[in-house]
Structure 1
């Protein structure tokens, strides 16, 4: 692995703002990002990346690579929850294992956005359809996780109906926004896209830095309680994303020859959802403890991916 890439990532302002959020919690500072502002910024990031992905998609010729790319993403989102569930079921029980499996099979839009910024620094191109892949990967993992809970739970009748679960997964706000922005971006002409470029592109990195500051504050508040749950969840939150990122880095060579696309597949496989999945699990599997799976994704896996993960996965796709 190129250590210069790791050093560049550790000195990236976006990551440093994340570290500042962690530090502020340790210092017991009253630094906070208002909840409404945080929600607006997260919506903005999804809108921006979706719109720009749609523009990329509009300039790309339709090919079977796009179809295979989306199918590969769906395959990843379906397979990861299954082996994650079986790894954890004996230690953590059916409900918690199902929720964790769904989180690690689903994706983190913020990790994806950070990866986009990372590729921009390296001046490496990736295809616009990867935004669609990200959006399509979020719901299947939630559905698989809930199905596993229903299959192995001794009291399946207490679970929410599968129809409601699927509806919630597909109508989740982040899925609607990213897919909607993708479609709108693909329909907009170059002149129309140029008109809102100052909003979709120029201020993107600034909003990303503030959002990561907020993520750092949230992670810092949760990590202390999480560490008391033992080494099973901690080691899983560290090793699982690295394993997923590396095997997908290797397998993606049969889907695409573009390093940027292969890197995005790896980061999607390595990331874990801490927005859509907790919301879905609260409805579908109320017995799952968010105090376990939320800190795993947000306080351990997320910072791991944006520090060590990004340069590691890029090294892997350029090596394999």
Structure 2
């Protein structure tokens, strides 16, 4: 009887389990079906929008869309790839002089207290059309009176006459203008070209301007903590939270902007991803050769450090994003994809070169036959299989285990090369890449929804876009602490290693700029100046998250101290202080010297 009851209970539990699994499967299928249906409809809507040559219209609706579409069809033939239109009611300092074809700066005016706050958000934007708002008439008497009163008090007037203005913008500019228009009032002023200064003067000006930005001040604040022996430890949980937030925010914003790209621009982004992958692979090999030639390092350490430089740095990338936003410089929306793609080559180059060294007889401590301390080739039985992945924190200063080949991944790499499932999983699905790619996918899907209902992205934008700089300041505080501590590890590195850590990033950044410009000239496609700067930091920076994780698994014989000392103590510090301004000037020089032909 008991058995029968027990069997009945089991059957009931099994039935409930099957019912629950069936319900979950049905929900998943319905959700996937709805998503596919929605994506198809939004794709058709966007395709229809592109074919009709209609643009995003904000601030004021157009009355005759058919007539506007016909006019735009004629203008599209002479418009560069990637240009959009932004139409809104804006303030104009001097409406009598504003006309179609002029280049203007765009500022955001927000009211607070007795006076408004004015912040320039876009530079050198071309005006397509200017109209007087419907139902309003120009009132020059009131405008003149306001300007005279402001001149008497030596302040700029807070209220200017309004006009309905259509601007030609890129997708990045469109997003920035859209967000700003929701925050306050936009004001136009004539663009003034300050480019007629020497390169050295421009670098000095940018350096002084960047030196006192909040981002770098927080970095210097953190850098001073170890120097002054301040008893402060940055909370590890907070650092991890900031890293997750910044990676997801970069992915979200990039995916949201990519949702508005035309298929031709997505093709350009795909080609650029291939270029970036190849360039960083070449840089990883070149860095290894330079270290082998100009420093007395062991071959395994040269390969490891070279692989760090064949990858990129998320910290340098987000710092460059903050500086570009401060300077009002734009970049193409798909650059976060480049951050993810260009992190992989260094890992693959390092694993490939290390596998060659192992086949050439490297011993269990990482020494080669012609190096001091060589103890004979390591056999398969010399590798331990039960030690796990070692220390999880890439910033730990424990050097006692640096020569102990104790990980399962090391044995797998020794026998199976770079095709070990554990190694491939760490390369392509490490937490940083997953958060970045996840943010891209979510941002892209949400951006497609926002093409129909802009309110979908309002809340996430307030979190991921508005709070980005504040979170970056705290992140750079921790980076300053870590960079200063890593400088102590350079005492035994040698002068040549220090010179490499400071000068090699400039060479690699220039290679990246030249590769991007060659790709630009081959396509006849103009990239934003900020895109050049981001490409430079992706090529000139060194990894300190992804590659150390792979090294812990696959290359435990190598020193964990030297590569992090170079990437954080030297290269990161150089890039966020002097490097980024220099790369911007390099980009301007290349763009001006070798102009891209219009296709």
Fold in common (TM above 0.5) = yes
Equivalent residue number for residue 183 of structure 1: 441
Equivalent residue for 1:296?
A: 566
What is the root-mean-square deviation in Å for CA atoms of aligned residues? 1.5
Q: Distance in 2 between matches of 1:108 and 1:202?
A: 23
Contact 1:227 1:234 in 2 (8 A): no
- Contact 2:257–2:444 at 8 Å: present in 1 too? yes
Answer yes or no: is 1:141 the counterpart of 2:349: no
Q: CA deviation at 1:31?
A: 2.0
2:580 to 286, 310, 313: 310
Q: 1:129: Cα distance to partner?
A: 1.2
Output one character per residue of 1:118-163: Cα deviation in whole Å (capped at 9) or x when no partner. Answer: 1111212211211111101112210111111111332386643222
d(CA) in 1 for partners of 2:270 and 2:562?
36
Q: Larger deviation: 228-237 or 50-59?
A: 228-237
Q: Which has the larger radius of gyration?
A: 2
Structure 1 partner of 2:530: 260
- For 2:286 and 2:541, how far apart are their aligned partners in 1? 16
Confirm whether residue 104 of structure 1 aligns to residue 309 of structure 2: yes
The answer as to whether partners of 1:249 and 1:266 remain within 8 angstroms in 2 is: yes
1:114 is aligned, of 319, 329, 332, to: 319
- In the alignment, the residues of structure 2 paired with residue 233 and residue 39 of structure 1 have an alpha-carbon distance, to the nearest angstrom, of 30
CA distance in structure 2 between the partners assigned to 1:309 and 1:89 by the alignment = 25
My pick for the range that moved more, 73-82 or 89-98, is 89-98
Cα drift, residue 115 of structure 1: 0.8
Higher strand share: 2
- Judging by fraction of residues, say which structure has more helix: 1
Distance 2:549 2:429 in 1: 12
Deviations along 1:254-311, one digit per CA (max 9) or x if unpaired, are: 2232222222111100111011111110111001111100011011100100111111
Larger deviation, residues 250-259 vs 168-177: 250-259
Contact 1:50 / 1:178 at 8 angstroms: preserved in 2?
yes
1:73–1:134 Cα contact (<8 Å) kept: no
Higher relative contact order (CA 8 A, sep 6+): 1
CA distance in 2: counterparts of 1:30 and 1:250, whole angstroms? 45
Q: How many residues align?
A: 320
Residue 36 in 1 paired to residue 237 in 2?
A: yes
Q: 1:142 to 1:169 in 2, by over 3 A?
A: same
For residues 227 and 200 of structure 1, what CA distance do their matches in structure 2 show? 40
Deviates more, 1:133-142 or 1:86-95: 86-95
Question: Which residue of 264, 269, 284 corresponds with 1:81?
Answer: 284
TM-score by length of 2: 0.52
Partners of 2:253 and 2:443 within 8 A in 1 = yes
Shift of 1:86: 1.8
TM superposition outliers: structure 1 runs of 4+ over 3 Å: 155-160
